[in-house]
């Protein structure tokens, strides 16, 4: 199993829209093969910072989701609500509760 953590900083004007669109994106991902779980996190001391924690059976499952039309439709919109590029880090899941 693999987990990807993506960190982004939002524009002040884009916060509510980003949160709604990302929520919808996570709901759509639930139907994808290999999806395990996801969390959308707001940093407590920097309310414009978000982290997306997604866990998938394989990295290939995640890559297939990113090639899906439902994912690509929201990419430009979300990117426009962020102040810069996202930062991502991959982790291999060692233990899952």
Say which CATH topology domain 2-92 has.
Alpha-Beta Plaits (3.30.70)
Return the domain boundaries, the chain. 2-92
Distance CA 70, CA 24 (A): 10
Q: Answer yes or no: are the C-beta atoms of 6 and 88 closer than 8 Å.
A: yes
Predicted confidence (pLDDT) per residue in 28-82, tens digit = 999 999 999 999 999 999 999 999 999 999 999 999 999 988 788 888 889 889 9
Taking the model in full, what pTM does it have?
A: 0.90
Residue with tokens 């978000």: 50
């Amino acid at each position: 199993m693999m987990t990807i953590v993506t960190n982004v900083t939002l524009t002040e004007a884009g916060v509510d829209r980003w949160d709604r669109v990302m929520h919808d994106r996570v709901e759509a991902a639930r139907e994808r093969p290999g999806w395990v779980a996801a969390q959308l996190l707001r940093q407590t001391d920097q309310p414009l910072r978000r982290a997306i924690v997604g866990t998938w059976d394989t990295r290939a499952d995640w890559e297939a989701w990113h090639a899906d039309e439902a994912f690509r439709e929201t990419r430009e919109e979300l990117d426009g609500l962020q102040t810069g590029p996202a930062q991502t880090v991959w982790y291999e899941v060692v233990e899952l509760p």
